[in-house]
Structure 1
Amino acid sequence: MRNIKTALAVFICVAVFAMMGPNFNPLFAAVAAVITMESNIEETVESGWNRILGTIIGGAAGMLGIFISNLIPFEFGFIAVIPLGVMGLIYLCNNLKKHGAITIACVMFISVMTTYSQDLGNYMLAGMRLLETAFGIIVAYLVNRFIKLPECDAEKQKDEKSLAAQENISNDSKKMRLSSLIAMILKP
């Protein structure tokens, strides 16, 4: 089921960006949808919040990284900024206890730092990258929340039998404990 939902979320991202025109690239929205989609809605929500937080942190760090790179008088100053930025992002996310945000924060930071030239005019493009990623996260959440696919009957019956077997074991265990307790009380 996760397979189909992930494919649907990616399809929606690609279709929406295709309708917006050739100047829009669905790459980051589709990647975010794949990364965010989990097997149930609770995990998707948790993953989604981590991804949104990581996207914001990584995007802001990328903009800061562009600014710092422009202060370095060497043409390839951004090469030194990128690994230092990644280290800083990992440290920050760990201290915020947001381990699930580390990957997307680093991916966002690296993509902003390497995709766009290090001109001051690219802050708007970095902001667009943030919005593209957020769009993919939201699509993954909505697909996982509202799309319910029918379960396979054989798998459903197997799960029901397994649950019934567990209940029987639990009931037998309770009976055994009760009989042991009664035997201890009545023992001379």
Structure 2
Amino acid sequence: MFVIIMEKTMEKKNKKIKFLGMRVIKTVIAVYLCFLISFIRKTSPFYSAIASILCMQNSHDNSFKVGKNRMIGTIIGGLYGLLVIVGIDYINVELFSPIYYLILSLFLIPIIYTNVYCKTASSTYISCVVFLSITVSHIGDASPTIFALNRIIDTLIGILISLLINKTL
């Protein structure tokens, strides 16, 4: 038994460690392009860079599937987030109060239902994440509406860059 364990340990040591595969290189290029575009647009590169990382897969087909789900989820979550921040402002609900959090929690129902209705259940999680990132993290910004729209645009930029890089390299 001891000999078998030692042989397996030695086999593992003899295997070469891959360091830089094409997926790593493509991811680095995609993130850098997101940084450059954000620099030109004078926005934060955070959302586009994250989207490009998450969408970079081992093949263009897999990246396209992930990117499509992320794009659909971002649009649904972003539109609901925009609706809520405009509505909250209109009805004058105090931000970050128990009633505010109740409204946000209840809005997860139509977000989830919209994804299921559109037959895009696999994008539900990202719809909820985008919605909450808009309504919880940045509602106090000078212009929450502009913030929400920019988050949608930033994420779409990251997805498109990732798909383009994965297709061409």
For the superposition of Structure 1 and Structure 2, which TM-score range results when normalised by the shorter chain? 0.7 to 0.9
My pick for the range that moved more, 114-123 or 53-62, is: 114-123
Whether 1:10 and 2:38 are equivalent positions in the alignment is no
**TM-score when scaled to structure 1?**
0.68
What secondary structure is seen at the aligned counterpart in 2 of 1:38? coil
Whether 1:69 and 2:88 are equivalent positions in the alignment is yes
Whether 1:52 and 2:71 are equivalent positions in the alignment is yes
Distance 1:81 1:26 in 2: 29
**TM-score when scaled to structure 2?**
0.75
Contact 2:55–2:67 (CA under 8 A) maintained in structure 1:
yes
Indicate how the Cα distance of structure 1 residues 28 and 41 shifts in structure 2: closer, same or farther if over 3 A, else same: same
Pick one of 36, 57, 62 that aligns with 1:43. 62
Count of equivalent residues = 145
Runs of 4+ in structure 1 displaced over 3 angstroms?
Answer: 72-75, 118-121
Contact 1:62–1:112 (CA under 8 A) maintained in structure 2:
yes
Question: In the alignment, which residue of structure 2 is the partner of 1:168?
Answer: none
Over the aligned positions, Cα root-mean-square deviation in angstroms equals: 2.1
Q: Deviations over 1:34-72 (max 9, x none)?
A: 111111111111221221111111110001111332325
Question: In the alignment, which residue of structure 2 is the partner of 1:100?
Answer: 122
Whose Rg is larger?
1
Distance 1:93 1:26 in 2: 27
Contact 1:54–1:103 (CA under 8 A) maintained in structure 2:
yes
Pick one of 89, 109, 113 that aligns with 1:87. 109
What secondary structure is seen at the aligned counterpart in 2 of 1:97? coil
Task: Give unmatched runs, 5+ long, in structure 2.
Answer: 1-21
Whether 1:115 and 2:137 are equivalent positions in the alignment is yes
Q: Which amino acid aligns with 1:52?
A: M
Percent identity (aligned): 28
